[in-house]
Each structure stands twice: as C-alpha cells, then as structure tokens.
Chains A and B, each alone.
Chain A
Amino acid sequence: MGLKMQGQHHLVAVSLNEQQQQMESKRKYTWYIPRTNQGKYLILWIIVFGYAAIHVYRCIDAGHQERIQEGLVSMCDQRARMLQDQFSVCVNHVHALAVLVSTFHYYKNPSVIDQDTFAEYTARTAFERPLLSGVAYAQRVMNSERVDFESQHGGTIRTMANKEPSPHRDEYAPVIFSQETVSYLNLLDMMSGEEDRENILRARSTGKAVLTSPFKLLGSHHLGVVLTIPVYKSKLPPNASVRDRIEATAGYLGGAFDVESLVENLLGQLAGNQEIIVKVYDVTNASDPLIMYGRQTQEGDPTRVHVSSLDFGDPFRKHEMTCRYLHEAPISLTASITAVFGYVIVILVGYMFYTGTIHIVQVEDDFDTMQNLKVRAEAADVAKSQFLATVSHEIRTPMNGILGMLALLLDTDLSSTQRDYAQTAQACGRALITLINEVLDRAKIEAGKLELEALPFDLRSILDDVLSLFSEKSRNKGIELAVLVSDKVPQIVMGDPGRFRQVITNLVGNSVKFTEQGHIFVQVHLAEHSKAVQDSKPETCMNGRSNGHQWKTLSGREVADDQNSWDKFKHLISDEEFMFDGNNSQNVNLMVSVEDTGIGIPLHAQKLVFMPFMQADSSTSRHYGGTGIGLSISKCLVELMGGQISFVSRPQIGSTFSFTAKFTRCEKNTVTDPKRTPYDDLPTSFNGLKATVVDTKPVRAAVTKYHLKRLGVLVEVVNSIKTASGQPDMILVEKDVWLSGDNFDNPFNNIRVNGHALKQPKVILLATNVTGGELDKAKAAGFSDTLVMKPLRASMVAACLQQVLGTGKAEQGKGMANGSVYLRGLLCGKKILVVDDNLVNRRVAAGALKKFGAEVECAESGKAALELLQIPHGFDACFMDIQMPEMDGFEATRRIRMMEREINEQQTSGSTDGCCDNRATEWHLPILAMTADVIQATFEECQKSGMDGYVSKPFQEENLYQEVAKFFESKPATDC
C-alpha cells in the first residue's frame, strides 16, 4: 500500500532526476529517503511499534479481565444469595418451632408438649432443617425457681463445661426439650457456655434470632454457629421495650448450624464449583475475621477476589463470603494473537521500507556511477574517434605512396601477368583505403550524416575486385565462388561505388566466413526483371530439384532460397527481350543476391541479424571471429541507396542475402574519365573468338559464359565434348566433368578427328581446387595447356587466355619464370653466401638461389664463412644453417656482427674529418637463418644473435620471398 505508492513516487522521482541530471549533471536525490543509518531507523520503528503492540495487548486484555471479574462476581453473589436463602429457610423453621413451643407449652395449660412429643416432632420435621444438626429448647429458670424446677424435672441443672451440677447463679437456662440428635444437652445450662449465654442475652433483648460466632460444635469437628431464638410467655407488642422483652422471656430455642456442611452441600449443587474457592468469614469484629468455611491454606488466584456480604438475619453479626478463582486466569489468546500478528506485520512493513530504501539508495548510487561512467565512456569515445582519425591518417599516407608507386608501375611496360598482379595489388590497396574510410564513416552512418556519392562506375569490375579479395580464402576452403551480372544491367551506372562495394564485400565476406563447402554465388539483376520473372513463374519455384539428388545450383548443393531456382535463373539470363515500363527511365534498380551453402543462421537469431554487434551466439564469434557490425552497416547503406536488404536462411543449408539498390543510368558522354571506362583493363584481343564450355551444371556454365562474354568471346555451352559443334578456338572444361566423364579420356584425338590439325583448339581446365592426385591425372590425360583456378574473373581469364593462345611456344620456360618473377627480380645479380655443413643441403640451396639469378658461394662451416666474410667482402646476403659442428650459426653470426661493429666504429671515428658517406658504407650483412624446425624459440634466438630473419629449409618460395624482400625491396630489380 504505502510502500507501493512510495515505489511509484520513486520511479517518477528517478525519471525526473534523470532529466534533471541530464540537464545540469548534478547529483540529486529523493528527499524523503534516509540516505544513511537505515538500520537505526528500522530499530526505532521496531521499538516504537513494540510499545504500541504492548499497549494494544493491554487494551484488549483489560476487557478480558473485566469479563473474568464479572464472572467471579456473579458466581460469588449467586453463592452468597443461595447460602443466605437456605439459611433463612432454616431460621424460619426454627422460628416456627419457637412459635410451636410458645403456643403449645406456655399458652396451653397444662402444657401439651413434653420431651417425647418435641423429640418426635423435631425428628419428623428434621428434613426441613437440613443445616441444623439439632434443635433444643431451654427454659428460663430464675434462681428462685431452681429448686421447683429441679424437682419437677427430676434432675439437677448442670453446666456445659463439665456437666457438673451448676453453681449458684441468678438465672439458668436448662434444656428441657431436645431433638434426639442432641439429647445429651438435656438439663444442661445453656447460660453456662460463654457463647450461648451471650446469645441468649442478645436474643431475648432483641426478640430476634441471633447467631454465635463460629466455634467447634460439640460432638463434631465442623465449625458451626448456634442459632438462638427467644420464646416469650405472652404476645409482645411490636414496639415492646428491652425490659418488657426480658420480662416476657419464657425460654430459648436453639439450634446448631453446621456451616461447613451447609456450604459444602450448597456449592456441590452449583456449576463451576471447581473453578472457584469460596470462604465464609464472620466479620463482626472487623479486625479479626473468623473463618467459618474454607481452609485457611487454600489460596487460589490471589489477584482476583470478590467479597459478598451475607445477611443471616442477625443484625449484630456480620458475615461475608470471599471468592477466588482456583487457577490464575489464562492469558487472553485473542489479545496476544492480535498483538503478535499486528506486530509481525508492522515489522515486515518496516523491513520492506528498509530494504526498499536501501534498494532506492543503491539504485541511485548505481545511477550516479553509471552517469559518471557514461561521461567517461563518452570521453573515451571522443578519444577513440581522435585516435581513429590519427591512425587512419597515418595509414593513408603510406598507402597513398604504395598506390602511387603502383600506378607508376602500371604505366611502365609490363607483361600481362605482371600487369594483373600490379592491378590486383592496386585494387587491394584501394580496398584497404576504402575500408579505413569505412571505419571512419561508421560513426557518420550512426549519426545519420553519411552522404552517398554519385559517380559513374562499372559494377562488374567492382564485383570482380570483391571476388579477388576472397579468392584465396575460398580456394583454400574449396568453395566455388562466382559472380554473374545480368546482361540487362547497364555497363556503367551512377551511384556510390564505394558503398556498393562495401555492402557486397560484407555479404560475400560473411558467406566465405560461414561456408565450409559448396558455393557462394553473387548475382546482379534488374530488380524489375527479377520481380517480373518471379511473379510470372510462381508454380515452378518449388522445382529447384533436378534429378532427385542434385540441385540445380552452382555447386549442386541445396540452397536456402528456392526462389533462386534454375527455372527462374534460366529466364533471368535468357536473351529474350524483356519489356518493362521503366526501360527508358533514368533509374536502374538492381537486385543483388549473395547465395551461400554455409551453416545458415539459427532461427532464433534471425531477428537479430541486422542488429549491430549481434552474432548468432557467442560461440560463433569465438569460432569465426568478427564483430557483427557489418550487416548493420550494410543495412544502413542499402537503405541509403534506396533499397532494402533481406535474407532467407535455413540452418545447415545456407543463407541467401539479397538487397535492392537504386542507381541512375549514366549517359555515355559523361564518362570522360578514361580510367573509369569499363574495358580499360580488359584486353580486346579476344573479340570474336569462339569458345566451347563443357559443363553439365547450367548455372556454372552460365557464369563461365558471362566472363567470356565480357571479353567478347562467343560461347557455346555443351554437356559433353562430343556434342560440340563448329570449330572453337578453345575448349573450357570443368574439372568434375572431365574427371567423371568417360567420354573425355583423350580430348585431343576427338578434336583432331573433327577439325584441322592447324587450328587445334586449346583445352583449358577450370577448377576450384586441385588435389595432387587430380593434377597427376590431368597430366596423365595430356592436359598440358593450362588450368584456370576459380573464382573466375574477366581480367584473370584474359591473362590466362593470353598466355595460352598468344605465347604458346615459349610457355614452359616462361611459365617457370613467371612463377618466381618476384624472387627473380629481387635476387638477380646478388652475391649470396650459403653456409651449411651438409653438402646436399648446400647444393640444393645454392641451386635454388642460382635459379633466381643470384650468384652463390658456399662455405661448409662457420669458420670458413667468417674467413670469407672478412671485411671488405662483396656479399649481399648470407644464408646460414643453425646447427653446425664446431661453430653453429648463432655463434658465427655473433662473430660476424662483432666484426662489423668494429669496422663501423673505426669508420665512424675515422670520419670525424669530414667524410659524409660513412652512413652508406656502414656494414650490415643481412644474415638469414636456415632452419628445418621453425619454432618460436629458435626465431627469438635468431634475432638475439643478430640474424635478420629465417627461412625454412628446404626453401619455400613464399617464405624466401617474404624474407628476402625485407632487404632488397628498395633496390630496383636489375635486368639480367
């Protein structure tokens, strides 16, 4: 309740706070929340409500106690009343006896009552007086009358104490009639007993029934009182004086009350007897109450007492009844439960407040911390941007140098292969620059500040560039990577080539990353065309399967998007005229799709694909690397290009990403920049040549056809070589077709039969990857011409064709030279020392280096090498074996370096007189270790001992080139 409201307040307060803090970045808190000492507040709360709970308990308990007290009072009063009633009934009856005696003993003369009559009457009416143990009548006898009386009754008056004949007194009260139960009282003088005498005197003077104080009754152990009623000789007026009464007194009727039995019987009849303790006191003397009933020791509950006064009809005597509960009243359950429960609730509420407060404080603290962190993160972000700007500038400067040099290199006279290499290097360099720019632009994209350029560009060559970026990777994985651009797409479009390239690069890069086998296929079509085909052929879309086990895709594997089926594809690439309304419009809407047969995207992750920094799961990024920002950038870019990006993906089958982009048509005359003309880098010498492509997979054949078409080659696609017609200039055969087809063991013979020997077509093998065995088989089958590794690119195909067709004769030697052209350039004319104790190794190393044009000298030990390297020497480099007897490579190197240092120091000291060339002549011979086991420790040791690097033994071209390039790169390759 209260807590909830508080919570809402808190939320509001926090959101307000947030705004305020954003406004003034100052710390503000909800004011009604204690920031510290919440524990103390909690304890205070608990204590206060503890008192409150006790108070509540008391209030409720008071009512309870009152009810208990009331119960006691009513029970006590009831008992008192009943006792009184019974008592007065007895008294009345004794009264009646008194009346009987006076009537029949005194008023009748002679008396009609004698002892027997009285005894019988009283015995028969004893049930009327259950409380009286017995009644007796004592006659008033004056001393003067004593003798008469004694003679009349035939006995002497005796005292009560010892039953001896009474001494002389003024007056006597001998019992003349007695109930049988008290017949021992006969002729006892009642006046001789102290209690009785008093009673008799009081009774005759008041004319009423009087009671003695309690005493032990004769013949019984019970406490009792004696009731005495005067009997008068004559009827007295109601206002008779005391004297009259004494005069008229004839005798006294007495009875003993057994109070104890009386009360016992009485209480026995009542309910709740067990609960209370009843005591009856005679309180005539208030300071010394005499107990009449009840045991002195039995105490009961001392806290609650009720006293009821009793009136037994004797005004002189005062009696009262005290009642107590036997047991202490039980604790009130209701009160305690109410109090305890209430208290518990209050404590819980307090605790909730307490935790709530702590939570609020913590959240506010966290918020504050985060605010600080945010400020710091923002600062870091600014720093990062500055860092990126600086670093990218630093990278761009040397990269521009590289690109410039490459451009200069391209202007020199280069062979087509060299040109291709240089162009590739240039393209890659450009791509790197672009990537750096893209990193910077990411911020712009996020801020929505990115603007697209509008430049004319050839998207086919861009796609070729992208493919060349990934060619190595795809080849290593054995994935077929291919691109196909529809003929209907214009050569040149206006748009942002960089952004377009970025998107394609990203998509292809992802595909390459996540695909282990199969293919990656990039297609570009006109969006309208693609849509029209898709709409017109909906019923065939599901028929992507061909012969039941093969899919008509690039690599024959199933792909995620059935829409890209061969049926549709056939229509897209067919030459039939496609009419659409926008044919003449300025806009070119392209539909680009990148299809792969990779691991696909898990269904649960498909929604997140375009979110920045999201990958399918963390294990993906561990396994494949990457940040996952690429697709989100691509999405932004595609949207900027006026298109949409979407994908279809099936786990374990593959993904197909497709996007549309809007470009504008480019007028021919706007292409004034010669560098941007599309065929600038594609030779035109193949125009009009005829080629036959042998391929059973239509999609793949279409890709090959597309590339050849770009070179101006006329292409015919056949399923097997036997069905080829006409006279092609070249035959391109897919590796798997060739491997599987029995009809292809000897293509030369077939062709020779068909055509003239002069115009023998060149056979070119197309392959994604080649294993050694296959290579041997190719060789065995007589494939001496060439083998083109995929992915196909127009420029590469051109280079290959040039080699095959143009320079057929000098092919073998030149091919060898081409393979190691860089090394040759680097090593040509260099004098190199090879140090190895192993003769065979030495010979092989020397042979290899000689091959690349170097001049080689050998030494068989470290010592020999040291001798040869005495300064001055003419060596440009030294290859040193590490493990040699006597002096190992490290030691030899150390000594050589020592030697060099000495000479250098001498030179420096000698050059103080003004020689300025000493820098150029400083000795430092590049020493490379030759080692069979390339492990890190060795490498570190190489560097420690002053070596400049290491090459693996036996030489590997790549590795050798990399190492050698470090020293010789600045020196231009001399011709040799």
Chain B
Amino acid sequence: MPTDTKRVRGPEVSQSPSLFLCKNAVKKSTASNDARVDGRQRGQVDVRSVFVRCGLISQAKGSAYIEAGNTKLICCVYGPRETERKDETDMKSGRLITDMRFAPFSCRERGSWIQGSDEKDLSLMLLESLRPGVCLQKYPRSQIEVNVMVLENDGAVLAHAVTCASMALADAGIEMYDLVLGCSIRQEGATYLIDPTFLEENGYNLASGSRENLGSLTVAFLPSLNQISGLQSDGEMGEDTLTGDVRTCIEGCFKLYPVIQQALSKAVRRKAPPSES
C-alpha cells in the first residue's frame, strides 16, 4: 500500500480530537421538525443557492468554480489531447478521463493526498455521469481530462462535482448533447432533505423515530433530454421512497438549470471579442 513517506506523521495511535467532542454539542436537535439548521425546509425542494463562475484558470482549456452553501469545488478540463494508449475503441471515439480529489483540509478530519478508494469510486461515478452528455465520437483518438478538486466538503459533493464538471466542459468548448446537472437528497424516515450539508448527510440531526427509510441518493440528470445519466443510492429505502426521491432530485436539477445557463452565457460573452460598434 503506498504510504506518504515524505511527511513526518504523528504516532500511530493518535486520534483526531473531534472524536472526543461531546456528542451533545453536535447533536443539536432542532426544536421543530420542519426547519433545518440553515433555515431551509424539510420535505421541500429547497436547494442551496449556488454561485458559479467559469473561466477562472487561465492555463486550462476550460474551468469552473461552484459554491453551494459551504461546499466549494473547482474543476478544470484539459483537451482534447492525443491519447497515449491506443486501443481499437479509441479509433472511433474519444476517451473521457475523470479525476476527483479532496484537498486534505476539505473535510472535518485531515485527509491524505494519496487517492483513497472513496475518491476512486467518486471519480468512476463522475465518469459514468458525464459520458452520456459528451459527444465523444467527434473526438476520435483523443482524450479529454476532467479534474475536480474539492476545496471544502459540506455535503452533496458528487452532485455539485457533476454540475461543475459539465460547466467546465462547456467552457472548454467540448461538444455536448446537454449539460449534466447533479442533485443529492437524504431520506430520513418520512421526510427528505434535498442538497444535504455534511452534518445532515452523516445523520447528526436525526429526527427521532426515523429508524427505517434512512439513506441518501445522488442523481445526475440531462434536463433537455430528460435522461438520467448517473444514479447512486445508499442506506435502506423502500421502493416507493426511492422513486419519489428520484423525481424530487429531477425537480431540484430543473431548479438549478437556469442559473447554470446564465453563468455560461455570461462567460461566453466575456470571452467573445468586443463587437465593432
């Protein structure tokens, strides 16, 4: 197993102080069951407002930055470049390579720079979500690299990474069928929390009595084509709850769509040469 040999680490038995935090301080159960900690409502399609900007990184072909609540992600796209490995499939269509990483300071406990299995899994999910949206057959023998870096993890990371990556791809001028938007939901008993924060995702504000139907769901959606390109769920849910949650996530994606479109058109206008007047 590769270990980080260049850094001096603490003794093997050291544990993060956050584990010893008094649990009561963290489990502030909200007085009424309806309000969430940041003022949004349970059981309603109340996604966090997003701030997006394209074209931040000058060296990259395309880039995008997204901020939703405290979740901050940045994505760069490089390509189309010539692919190093050439198999038969590459002759007909391009290859999309995704990489998703967490900065060590992004989560409550310090992570490591070496890619863990969680990050590899998220990169794979990101790839599966983006592939249907990109016209890869227009780029034979090339590869397009998408790198997502999570600067701060406050929940719904995969969903926002999908949105950020598709904006960066559009900013890079890669031909796409449609934007891919992501939305995340957390099911707790009878209610759902859309676009959960980190604390909500890990079940810190559990409403009492939600022993069953506890799970999370992330959906990647192409709005104009009405197709789901990525779906991942966790935890234990009944089938009807699952179906309901997928529809709710689709609604959440539709809410996000105009914001993303506006940000992209602003970015294009900024890049366009000034018109002769």
* A, B in one complex: no
